[in-house]
Every structure is written in structure tokens, then in C-alpha cells.
Structure 1
Amino acid sequence: MVKQERAVRTRESLVRAAAEVFAEEGYETASIATISKRAGVSTGGLHFHFGSKTALADAVVDRAAESLRVITVSRLAGANPLQSLVDSTHDLVALLARDAVVSAAFGLVAGNGARSAVGRERGWAVRRQWQRWVEAQFHDAAAEGLLAEGVSPQDAAAAVVAAIVGFEVLGVDRREWSSRSSLTRYWGLMLPQLVPVHRLGDVLAGGSGAPPASRSARAS
């Protein structure tokens, strides 16, 4: 049991170290030696748990995909599709700001990581997971009469996915872009374009879990 717990901790340290190094240097440039040093594990120990840098990238993406699944599935019960979507964007932007693994997985398709086809493909896997979920929420919203006349679920999903990429990229250097208030203002502008006037009160731009003072939209 002790050995198993130690192995789990070592794998966790390696995945987190790999994520940090991928984020700083890009997948292509990141070296096994740098990752093992960051984790405080010998290169032999790293290869015992992960056979290659590709395996480490897979582990980073798998861990990020699980975190993404948690924040989307947890928002399904009791809320309408658009509220679930708004809530999950708040959760995701906050997670990107504080979780190196999720940030690195999304970042594999941008910046230094974009030079590597291997890193880029793994990064797209988690982004596709997010995009498919956003598209599903908009299709469900349309079926429930939550989309204004003429609003295409596909176009709305593309606009939201692109916007979250913008918050992600801008938030790297300017933390205010990762704040709840910034995303609340975005949704305050977007929701009146997406939702029929008589349904605007059904969606809180600040998120259903936000303190009352920061919910400011029910967009109007």
C-alpha cells in the first residue's frame, strides 16, 4: 500500500512538472531531463512511469479532460442548458488560471507547442471535447426555446468557444481577464443577442453559483 501511494504521488508530480514545462517551453522544446528535475525524480524513475514524452503529454491531456468532464457534468443537474454553459465557462476560465495541467493541455495547440504536430494533436483532443459540449448545450437550448429567432446553435457555439480562447490567452499575462467580473461582462453583452427577451431572466451572466452581488445579469 505504501509503495502504491508513493507511486501515485510520483506520477502526480511528473504530470504536473510536465504540464509546467510544456507551458513554459512548449512540447517540442521540453526535455525529459528538465521535467524529471522539476519533479524531483530521476530520469530512470520518469521512464519507469512514462515510457516517453508522448506518454507524458497523453497523461497531461487525460488529466485535463477529466477535470473538464467534472466541471461540465457537475453543471447538468437542475439548470437550463444556457445556465449550465455560462456556469461552466466561469469554472473553466478559473481552472485555466489556477491549474497548470488544464492550462498546459489547452496550450498545446498554441504558442511554442504549436510547432509540434504531436503536441498540437493532443491539445486539440481536449479542446474538441470542450467544443462538442458547448455545441450540445446550444442545441439543447434551441430545443427548449432558449435561443432567439435566427440564432444558429453552431454559430453561437463557435462564438463562445472563440471567446473563451481569447480569455485564456489574454489571461496568461493579464489576470483580470481570468476574473469572474470580466466573463460576467462578456455574458452580459452576449445573452441579449442569444436569448429571447422573455427568457433573459432565466440565465445569470455571473453564474448561478456566484455571490448575489456579482451575478449582475440576469442580462437586461
Structure 2
Amino acid sequence: MVKQERGARTREALVRAAAEVFAEQGFVTASIAVISRRAGVSAGGLHFHFGSKTALAQAVEDRAAQAVREITVGVAGSAAGSAAGAGAGGSALQVLVDATHALMALLARDVVVRAGFGLCADASWSGGVDLRGQWRLWVGEVVAAAAREGSLAEGLSPQDAARGVVAATVGLEVMGAYEREWVAPHTLTRFWTLMLPRLAAAGTLDGLLPQGSAGGVVPPGEGFGSD
């Protein structure tokens, strides 16, 4: 058991070190020597756990993809519970807002997720995981659900709405890799304060929280119905 635990810790150190190096240098430039040194593991130890740099990149992508799945599934589950109790928290648009806040928070604190998104856009890497595609499909499903429940603005195409949200959130993810301010909670809150009046049907806007259901107080002048 002790040996297994030590092996698991070594693998975790290697995945995180690889993510840091991939995020800083990209896949092609990243070297096994730098990754093993960053992790504090010998080159032999690295090859024992991961046969190649490709295997490390796949592990980073898989870990990031799992984290994104946990966000989308977890937020949707929490919203279902809120809806059963009473509330606006169960609407599809609020699910979308909450998931974007959870994703940006994860990008801000977890280098593995940042590296996973970076790898999927790296022309030198051809992994089997498309994190941005995964996110795009999920956003499309949630916006379609908003249209079915009548919370989407009248006359607004669900496809156009989904594309706008995906374009904006992926843009924040890309910029956040260089400047963390782009994935900060207040940046996303301001985005949703601007966007939700265009997305939400009349009568539903006041019940939506641009800072997310688990967020803090909306800055003065940035909430709905505050005039």
C-alpha cells in the first residue's frame, strides 16, 4: 500500500510538472528533462510511469477533461436540487452562468486544466481530447434547454446565443493564460451583466444572478433591477 501511494504521488507530481511546462513552453519545446527536474523525479522514474512525452500530454488532457465534466455535471445537479426547492437557481441560464464561473475559477487555480486547454489548441499536438469542443457542445445543450423552458429571449436563435457564449468564454480562457484578470470572478460577472439582458426572456432576468449562485455580492450598479 505504501508503495502504491508513493507511486500515485509520483505520477501526480509528474502530471503537474508536465502541465506547468506545457503551459509555459508548448508541447514541442517542452522536454522530458525539464519535466522530470521540475517534478523532482529521475528520468528513469518518469519513464517508469509514463513511456513518453506524448503519454504525459495525454494524461494532462484526460485530467483536464475530467475536471470540466465534473463542473458541468455538478452544476447541473445542483441546479436540479435548487429547482425542486424553489428557484431561479434551477433555470438553464443560471446553470450556464454558474458553470462558466466554476470553469474560470478552475482555470485560475489549476495549471493542469489550463495546460489541457492550451494543448487542444496547440498545432504541434494532436491529442484525442477537444476540451473546447466539449465545452461548445455542452453550452449548446444548455442554451437549447433554456429555449425549451421559455427562458431564452423571444426571437433569439439558440444557435446564435450558444455561439456568442462560447466565443466569449473561450476568449476569456485564452486571455487568462496570459493575464489572470481575464478569468477573475468580477470580469465574468461584468460579462454576464452585459449579456443576460440580451439572452433572457422578459420576466426572467431579475431572478438571474450574474455573479453565479455561489458568488458574492454583485458590485454596485452591476446587478439587475438596481436602478
TM-score normalised according to structure 1 size: 0.90
1:37-186 counterparts in 2 under 5 A? 37-76=37-76, 77=78, 78=82, 79-110=90-121, 113-114=122-123, 116-118=124-126, 121-122=127-128, 125-186=130-191
Q: Deviations over 1:87-117 (max 9, x none)?
A: 111111111111100000001144xx33x04
Q: CA deviation at 1:213?
A: 4.3
1:103 maps to a residue whose letter is: R
Q: Deviations over 1:32-67 (max 9, x none)?
A: 111111111111111111111111111101111111
Counterpart selection for 2:209 from 204, 210, 215: 204
What secondary structure, in the 3-state scheme, does the structure 2 residue paired with 1:108 have? helix
Which of 31-40 and 170-179 deviates more?
Answer: 170-179
CA distance 1:213–1:159, change in 2 (3 Å): closer
TM-score normalised according to structure 2 size: 0.88
Give the match for residue 85 of structure 2. none
Give the match for residue 217 of structure 1. 223
Give the match for residue 2 of structure 2. 2
State how many pairs are aligned.
214
Maintained 8 Å contact 1:134/1:161: yes
Q: CA deviation at 1:26?
A: 0.3
- CA separation in 2, counterparts of 1:66 and 1:53? 20
What secondary structure, in the 3-state scheme, does the structure 1 residue paired with 2:130 have? helix
CA distance 1:33–1:151, change in 2 (3 Å): same
1:200 maps to a residue whose letter is: L
Q: Which runs of 5+ in 1 are unaligned?
A: none
Q: Deviations over 1:7-42 (max 9, x none)?
A: 100000010011000011101111111111111111
- CA separation in 2, counterparts of 1:57 and 1:219? 47
Which of 73-82 and 132-141 deviates more?
Answer: 73-82
| Structure 1 runs, 4 residues or longer, greater than 6 Å off | none
1:37 maps to a residue whose letter is: R
Give the match for residue 33 of structure 1. 33
Percent of residue pairs bearing the same amino acid type: 59
Maintained 8 Å contact 1:90/1:207: yes
